[in-house]
Amino acid sequence: MFLYNRVNKVELKQRLAEETFKRKTISFYKYHILDDPQEFRNNLFHDWFPLDCFGRIYVAQEGINAQMSVSEHHFDAFLKTLEKYEILNGIPIKYAIEDDGKSFYKLTIKVRPKLVADGLDDGTYDVTNVGKHLSGVDFHNQIGKENTVVVDMRNYYESEIGHFEGAICPEADTFREELEIVTDLLEDQKNKKVLLYCTGGIRCEKASAYLKHKGFNDVNQLHGGILEYARQIKSAGLEPKFIGKNFVFDERLGESVNGEVISKCHQCGTPCDSHTNCANHGCHILFIQCSECAKKYLDCCTPECVEEKSTGKGRKKEERIVFGNSRAFRKSLSLLQLENSK
Ligand SMILES: [Zn+2]
Ligand SMILES: [Zn+2]
C-alpha cells in the first residue's frame, strides 16, 4: 500500500464537498517516547487512510499531536485502531464545538524533530516538571481572583481574535518569542498564581515547565486548552470568560466561543474575525479580511498583490511591500487603513 496522498488539492476538496456522510473534528496529543517515529507514522497512515480519516498529525520522538476529522460511520473502527498503540490507548480526545466536518480534506502525517517548535534546549530544564493541570471549570473560577495573572501562550494572530478576559496577550510571532516575552513581562510577579492557556493544551506543557524553571512558584495550566474549556463551559451552562473566537489550525481557522467579534478587518477596520491567506501565491500571508475587502482586493492583502496575482508577474523581494500580522509588519495594517480613509 502507498503511504502518502497522491491526489491533487482541487480534486480532494471537490471530493470532500461531495461526501454524503458526516465527519467529526477531533484533536489529541501526548508526550510519550517513541522508539521509531517513522515506523509509527507509517502504521498510522496504513490504519487511518482506509477509514477516510483526514487531518494534520505530527509525530516526533517525544510523542504525537493530532488534529483530525473522522467519518462518523468509521468512528468506532478508528477508536479501535488507537488501542493497538501504547501511546494512543486511552488518550483523551477533544471534540470541536463548531463542526461542519469540513476541517480537513486530506490525511497528512509528518515526522518532526519536535511536537512544538520551541527553539529551546531541553537539556537545560526539566520538561517533565510541568504546572498544575486545571479543568475548564476550575480555570474559569480562578480567573479574576486577586494575585492571579492569566497568560495567553499563543501567538498574537491567535489571541487577536479571541482570548480570556483580562489575559496578557504578548505580541509574539513564535512560541519561542512568546516564552521570552512572558518571562520578561512577569519578572516581578513570580509569586503570583499564573494561569496559562493555549489552544489544546500542548504548548502549556512546555511553557509551564519553562516558567517553573525560571522561578515561578505557582504555575497552572488549562488542561485540554480552549477547545476543552469551551466544551466544559457549555455543558456546565456557564457564561464563558473567553471572548471572541478560538483560532484553530484547520480549514475553518477559528471557532467562536461566545459569539463576540473583538478584532478588526486589517484593511478597512470594521469588526471582523475571519482569517484568510492572501490569494497571491507569492505572498500567502495570513491576515484578517472582511467580505467587502475580499471583493475589493480580490482576496489579496494589498493592491500590489492584486496586481501581481492578475499579471502573474512576481516582484523582486526588495520591492515587496510589507504587510501583515507579524510584529515587524503590524504597523502596515494601520497604514493601509489610513490610505483607505483618504
Ligand atoms: Zn474590510
Ligand atoms: Zn499579499
Can you list the domains of the chain with their CATH numbers?
A: 9-111 (3.30.70.100), 122-236 (3.40.250.10), 275-341 (no CATH)
Question: What pLDDT does residue 329 have?
Answer: 65
Task: Tell me how far the alpha carbon of residue 57 lies from the centroid of ligand 1, in angstroms.
Answer: 33
Asked if residues 254 and 273 have their Cβ atoms less than 8 Å apart, the reply is yes
Q: What is the pLDDT of residue 236?
A: 93
Ligand lying closest to the C-alpha of residue 304:
2
* Phi, psi for residue 156 in degrees, rounded to 5: -65, -35
Contact 228, 215 (CB under 8 A): no
Q: Report the first-to-last Cα separation within the chain, whole angstroms.
A: 60
Catalytic: 265? no
Average pLDDT over residues 333-342: 52
Contacts of 289 (CB under 8 A, 6+ apart): 265, 266, 267, 272, 274, 276, 297, 299, 301
The tens digit of pLDDT for each residue in 240-281 reads 999 998 887 677 777 788 788 999 998 888 999 999 999 988
Across the range 132-158, mean pLDDT stands at 95
**Going by C-beta distance under 8 Å and a sequence separation of 6 or more, which residues neighbour residue 328?**
322
Cα(140)–Cα(153) distance, rounded to whole angstroms? 17
Identify any residues that bridge with 59 across adjacent strands, giving them in sequence order. Answer: 64, 111
Cα-only R_g, the chain: 21
Ligand 1 centre and the CA of 277: distance in Å? 14
pLDDT tens-digit map of 158-199: 999 999 999 999 988 889 989 999 999 999 999 999 999 999
**Pairwise pLDDT comparison (249 vs 306), residue with the higher score:** 306
Residue 203 three-state SS: helix
Using CA atoms, how far apart are residues 157 and 107, in angstroms rounded to an integer? Answer: 25
| Lowest mean pLDDT segment, chosen from 108-112, 113-117, 323-327 | 323-327
Quote the pLDDT of residue 336.
55
* Contacts for 10-15: CB closer than 8 Å, 24+ residues apart: 12/105, 12/106, 13/105, 15/105
Question: Which residue, among 236, 208, 212, has the nearest Cα to 222 in the 3D structure?
Answer: 208
Nearest ligand by distance to the CA of 337: 1
Ligand closest to 292 (CA) is 1
Rounded to whole angstroms, the maximal C-alpha distance in the chain is 63
Gap between the Cα atoms of 300 and 225, Å rounded: 32
* pLDDT band with cut points at 50, 70 and 90 for residue 126: confident
pLDDT digits (tens, 9 = 90+) for 190-228: 999 999 999 999 999 999 999 999 999 999 999 999 989
- What beta strand segments (E) does the chain contain? 23-31, 54-60, 63-71, 94-95, 107-111, 132-134, 148-152, 162-164, 193-197, 218-222, 242-246, 255-256, 275-277, 286-288
Strand 193-197 relative to strand 218-222: parallel, antiparallel, unpaired?
Answer: parallel
Residue 245 alpha carbon to ligand 1 centre in Å: 18
Å from CA of 226 to ligand 2 middle: 30
Q: Are 47 and 98 in contact, with CB atoms under 8 Å apart?
A: no
Q: What is the number of other CB atoms lying within 10 angstroms of the CB of residue 314?
A: 13
- CA of residue 200 to ligand 1 center, whole Å: 30
Q: Is residue 342 pLDDT above 50, yes or no?
A: no
The predicted-structure confidence for 42-88, as pLDDT tens digits, reads as follows 999 999 999 999 999 999 988 999 999 999 999 999 999 999 999 99
pLDDT confidence band for 90 (50 / 70 / 90) = very high
Ion ligand 2 neighbours (CB, 5 A) are: 278, 280, 283, 301, 305
**Which pLDDT score, from 0 to 100, does residue 282 have?**
82
Q: What is the grid cell recorded at 280?
A: 497571491
Asked whether the predicted pLDDT for residue 92 surpasses 50, the reply is: yes
Alpha carbon of 161 to ligand 1 centroid (Å): 15
Confidence of residue 289 (pLDDT cuts 50, 70, 90): very high
d(CA 319, ligand 1 centre) in Å: 24
Which listed ligand is nearest to 286 at the C-alpha? 2
Ligand nearest to the backbone CA of 291: 1
Does the pLDDT at position 335 exceed 60?
Answer: no
Could you tell me which of 62, 13, 16 has the C-alpha nearest to residue 205? 62
Q: Which is catalytic among the residues 53, 169, 198, 272?
A: 198
CA of 267 to the centre of ligand 1 (A): 5
